Amino acid sequence: MAAEIALEMDPLLNSIKEKLQIIGSQTTEQEEPCTIYRVVPSVRREDGAAYDPKVISIGPYHRNKNHLLPMEDVKWCYLQSLLLRAPKNNTLENLLGVVRAQAPRARKMYSEKLWLEHDAFVKMLLLDGCFIVEFLIKFPLAENHGQLLHTNWKMPLVRSDLLLLENQIPFFILQCLFDVSVSPLFDFNDQNEPSITLAELALSYVTQGTLEILPETVRKVEIHHLLHLFQMSLTPNPELSGPQPFSCMKVLKQTFWKCTRFFIDVVFWLLSSFLCCFAIFRRQSHHLPGKRDVGPRAPRMIPSATELQEAGVIFKEREMKQKNKKMCFLDVKFEDGIIEIPRVSIQGVTISMFRNVIAFEQCCPSSGSHFTSYAAFMDNLINTPMDVATLQDCGIIESKLGSDKEVAIFFNQLCKGGYLDYERHYLAQVFKDVRKFSSSKRHRWRAILVHDYFSNPWAIISFVAAFLLLGLTIVQTIYSILSYVHRS
């Protein structure tokens, strides 16, 4: 009895029990997983500015920062514009009511505990949500954006800010505001009236009009926020990666490429036979990516673009539209020694978007890791500015940065601190096939020959000249022998 009383009087034990009760109640209340996260400090150290808004704050994480305050007045103007657009019976009270009803659920979507009071949180959701909805309506209609368009540089920055991981509000808040203020203006049962949805408006904006319908694989997935919508738009199309229907023209093209590659391989084999054998075998001991045998496990690395070219791999720009279906730049394909990669444009604002998509995939694994897989693939292809130049020459990379070195550094740092399941990511089979192709003995010898003896045009010209001279000498020798035999 005394022992029980002593336990009850133990302040440390009681404090631990109270903490466990609080944690248990919070776990019970958390019915939905959070979807809006803070970027971890270790990732921020690589490029912290890529995760911070430049002109506008959305949500609580960057609220009231001094350099973002000028856009608050613009938000109020957009709220007023949305109220004027809405039917007369849908007043400010209606908008405030739907936001207030969803505020408790919205608060749970943030990974950090928010210290905002309830009314301040509701006001923030209303103002930010109405701004985004009105902005998405104005954009395709080419309506006047007022103060927002006084300077041309603001619009790309606004798009970049709306696609930051820490600069989001839940999509269901936007949907509620859209349903109250805009949907009543359209008769969805009228076949003659063009229907419009918030997801379509937002998708067209975040993809800059390149995509109007989400891929079938993610069409029924609940949208968490605008960054999640952008990430879903980057889902590769499995129909364009699988077996293609029979095409006579395609068969002819494949036959041409195979014959060309076979001819090149034969020429290189003949040329290599005239080289000193000890030089080739000596270089075989030198480390070349892809030399090790390919096991059953998916490889984590593949050779760079320059090394793959030396091994006979051909890089081609993949068309962004096939079979009347648009694809994204993640639709990579490798077949018969040809890597087809859609064109990707690299500029200042895209760097921020790429980093935030990877940060979102790392924080929310259930959303997939397609972009992280693509980033790892490009990181392997690009080691030096020469690799960037190789992909630029093929039309795969369009860079608006200062130099090829900047592009190489960007791709090499993109996946730092990230996790990727190399056995299950969507490009795992491409990694295997590329590694198997480049690690075969025939292609390794070809790479050694190109790297050591044909690294510049003058070496090629000199060797061809020497080869022709040797051939002429052999022919002359044979002719002299035949002439001597004939005279005898």
Cα separation, 365 vs 419, in Å, equals 10
| Distance, CA of 205 to CA of 136 (rounded, Å) | 7
Distance CA 266, CA 68 (A): 64
Per-residue pLDDT of the chain (488 residues; tens, 9 = 90+): 555 555 566 788 888 888 887 776 665 555 678 999 999 888 888 888 899 999 999 999 999 899 999 999 999 999 998 988 776 666 889 899 999 999 999 999 999 988 899 999 999 999 999 999 999 988 777 656 565 656 667 888 999 999 999 999 999 999 999 988 876 555 445 555 556 789 989 998 988 877 767 777 667 889 999 999 999 988 876 654 544 444 555 555 555 555 555 555 555 555 555 554 445 444 444 444 444 444 566 678 888 999 888 878 888 888 876 554 566 788 888 888 889 999 998 888 888 999 999 999 999 988 888 999 999 999 999 999 999 999 999 889 988 887 889 999 999 988 887 888 888 888 889 999 988 887 765 555 555 555 555 555 655 566 666 667 777 788 778 877 777 777 76
Strand partners, 335: 338
Residue 6's CB is within 10 A of a number of other CB atoms, namely 10
DSSP character string of 185-205: GS-TT-TTSPP--HHHHHHHH
Contact assessment for residue 390 and residue 306, using Cβ atoms and an 8 Å cutoff: yes
Q: What is the DSSP string of 275-302?
A: S-HHHHHHHHTS--TT-SPP-SSPPS--
Nearest C-alpha neighbor of 409 from the set 331, 346, 337 = 346
The amino acid at 149: L
Determine the pLDDT at residue 380: 92
Is 55 within 8 Å of 69 (Cβ atoms)?
A: no
> Running DSSP on this structure, what letter comes out for residue 217?
G
Asked if 232 and 218 count as a contact pair (C-beta separation under 8 A), the reply is: yes
Return the pLDDT at 436: 86
